[in-house]
């Protein structure tokens, strides 16, 4: 298993643990670990369910320079969080992204 996969799995386990600490939540996982959703929670009291996609928190390297989509050279001070967009299917399903370190 690649280091990237292990990091992702550890982040998912951390998120599951946080949800499992809430006695009102039931936590469900996809069989085989594939699909647009990593975790589904169901609140036993309210009946509300939520879907989550877990991402590893990554930050930009300090002082990086890149060319943006307009062809301009941009310098980042660094340390800012790298955001990961939802897919169109995830947006349709109302999935929320959780960033784990």
Q: What's the pLDDT at 78? A: 63
Task: Please state whether the predicted TM-score (pTM) of the whole model is above 0.85.
Answer: no
Q: What's the pLDDT at 45? A: 97
Tens digits of residue pLDDT in 5-58? 888 889 999 999 999 999 999 999 988 778 899 999 999 999 999 999 999 888
The pairing of beta strand 65-67 with beta strand 25-28: unpaired
Find out whether 62 and 77 touch, Cβ atoms under 8 Å.
yes
Question: Where are the chain's structural domains?
Answer: 3-100
Q: What's the pLDDT at 77? A: 65
Tens digits of residue pLDDT in 68-92? 888 887 776 666 788 889 999 999 9
């Amino acid at each position: 298993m690649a280091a990237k996969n292990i990091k992702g799995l550890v982040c998912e386990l951390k998120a599951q643990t946080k949800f499992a600490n809430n006695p009102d939540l039931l936590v469900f996982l996809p069989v085989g670990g594939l699909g647009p959703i990593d975790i589904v929670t169901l609140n036993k009291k309210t009946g509300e369910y939520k879907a989550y996609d877990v991402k590893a928190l990554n930050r930009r390297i300090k002082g990086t320079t890149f060319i943006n989509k307009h062809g301009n050279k941009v310098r980042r001070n660094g340390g800012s969080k790298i955001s990961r967009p939802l897919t169109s299917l995830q947006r349709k399903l109302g999935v929320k992204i959780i960033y784990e370190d």
